[in-house]
C-alpha cells in the first residue's frame, strides 16, 4: 500500500485565513471613527442638551411671535380707552388671556393688549441695535486687529474715547436733542455708543486667528486682503463676537425701557413697555399692577436673552465645557 503523504502543518496565518479574520485584529481595528464635527455642529450638539438654552429659546420664540403676530393673542386694541368703565380696573384672573385679564391702566386701556403689542417695540429696538453694533464693531475690530501698526493705534484710541462715555448718560444727551423720538432714532442713538465692546472682542479674536497656518498659507498663495479677512479670518473669529452680541441684546432692551421711563426714549402714541412703566408710576399707590406688570415683562425679556447668551457662551467656549 502506498504510504500516506503527511500533510504540512497549517500555520496560524493559514488557520486565520480559513476561519476568517482573527478576533484580535477585529479588536485592534475597532469601530469606524465618527466623522469630525466642526465648532458650530459641536456647539449645537451641546446646546440641545442644555435646559437653560431650551427654556430661553422658547421664551424668545414666544416674544418674537407676540411681536410680529399680536393678533394671535388678543383682538383688543392697545389704544382703545374707556375711562368711564375701565378706569384702573384691577386684573380679572379668572379670564385668562382675555381683554381684562391683567386689568386696565389710568386711561382705561387694556394692559394685556398693551403688553402684547408693546413687545414689538422692545424686540425691534434690541435686535436693531444689536445688528448695527455687531456689523460696525466687527468691521472696526477686524481692521484694527488685521493691519495693526498705526491703524490699530488710531482705531483703538477712537474706541477708548467712545468707551469712556457713559452709555445711558450719552444716549440720554443724544435723545434730548430730538423732538420726534421714533424707534429708529432710539436705535441709532444706542448703536452710536454701543459698538465699543464688540470692537474690542473682534480685535482680540482677529489678532489670535491671523497667526494661524491657514491664514499664512492664504497669504503665500496671493489671496487678496478682503478674501483673507472675510473668508478665512471672520468665520473663525465669529464665535466670541456672537456671544457678546447675544448677551448685549438684553441690555439694549433694558436701556430702551429705562430711557422711555425717564421720558427721553419712546413716547406716546408708540406702544412700549417702558412707556407703560412711566405711566404706571403715577398710579403706584392706587393701582400698583399698572407698574408691576410691564416691569415684569421687561425683566423676563432681558433674562431670556441673558440666559440664551450664557448658554451660547458655554457651548462655544471649550474651556467652559
| Residue 83: predicted pLDDT | 80
* Cell numbers for 265: 426714549
Euclidean distance between CA atoms 177 and 154, whole angstroms = 29
pLDDT at 32 over 50: no
Indicate the average pLDDT of the chain.
84
| Residue 106: predicted pLDDT | 86
What's the whole-number mean pLDDT along residues 111-117? 92
| Residue 30: predicted pLDDT | 45
pLDDT tens per residue across span 60-76 = 999 999 999 998 998 88
pLDDT tens per residue across span 146-178 = 998 999 999 999 999 999 999 989 999 999 988
| Residue 6: predicted pLDDT | 46
Domain-wise residue ranges, the chain:
56-70+103-320
pLDDT tens per residue across span 226-255 = 899 898 899 888 888 998 999 899 999 999
| Residue 138: predicted pLDDT | 94
| Residue 114: predicted pLDDT | 92
Whole-structure pTM value: 0.82
| Residue 80: predicted pLDDT | 85
Domain 56-70+103-320 has CATH 3.40.50.150: no
Amino acid at each position: 500500500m502506498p504510504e500516506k503523504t503527511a500533510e504540512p502543518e497549517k500555520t496560524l496565518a493559514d488557520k486565520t485565513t480559513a476561519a476568517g479574520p482573527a478576533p484580535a485584529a477585529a479588536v485592534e481595528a475597532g469601530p469606524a471613527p465618527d466623522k469630525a464635527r466642526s465648532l458650530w455642529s459641536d456647539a449645537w450638539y451641546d446646546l440641545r442638551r442644555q435646559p437653560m438654552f431650551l427654556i430661553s429659546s422658547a421664551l424668545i420664540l414666544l416674544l418674537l411671535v407676540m411681536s410680529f403676530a399680536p393678533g394671535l393673542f388678543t383682538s383688543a386694541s392697545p389704544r382703545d380707552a374707556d375711562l368711564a368703565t375701565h378706569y384702573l380696573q384691577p386684573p380679572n384672573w379668572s379670564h385668562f388671556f382675555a381683554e381684562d385679564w391683567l386689568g386696565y391702566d389710568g386711561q382705561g386701556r387694556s394692559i394685556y393688549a398693551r403688553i402684547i403689542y408693546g413687545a414689538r417695540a422692545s424686540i425691534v429696538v434690541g435686535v436693531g441695535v444689536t445688528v448695527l453694533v455687531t456689523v460696525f464693531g466687527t468691521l472696526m475690530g477686524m481692521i484694527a486687529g488685521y493691519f495693526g501698526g498705526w491703524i490699530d493705534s488710531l482705531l483703538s484710541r477712537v474706541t477708548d474715547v467712545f468707551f469712556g462715555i457713559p452709555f445711558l448718560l450719552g444716549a440720554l444727551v443724544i435723545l434730548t436733542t430730538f423732538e420726534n423720538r421714533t424707534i429708529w432714532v432710539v436705535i441709532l442713538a444706542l448703536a452710536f455708543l454701543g459698538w465699543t465692546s464688540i470692537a474690542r472682542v473682534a480685535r482680540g479674536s482677529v489678532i489670535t486667528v491671523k497667526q494661524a497656518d491657514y491664514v499664512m498659507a492664504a497669504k503665500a498663495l496671493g489671496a487678496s486682503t478682503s478674501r483673507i479677512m472675510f473668508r478665512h479670518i471672520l468665520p473663525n473669529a465669529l464665535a466670541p463676537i456672537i456671544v457678546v452680541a447675544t448677551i448685549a441684546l438684553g441690555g439694549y432692551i433694558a436701556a430702551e425701557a429705562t430711557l422711555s421711563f425717564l421720558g427721553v426714549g419712546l413716547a406716546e402714541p408708540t406702544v412700549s413697555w417702558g412707556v407703560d412703566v412711566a405711566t404706571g408710576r403715577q398710579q403706584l399707590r392706587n393701582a400698583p399692577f399698572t407698574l408691576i406688570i410691564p416691569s415684569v415683562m421687561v425683566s423676563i425679556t432681558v433674562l431670556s436673552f441673558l440666559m440664551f447668551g450664557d448658554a451660547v457662551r458655554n457651548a462655544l467656549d471649550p474651556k467652559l465645557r
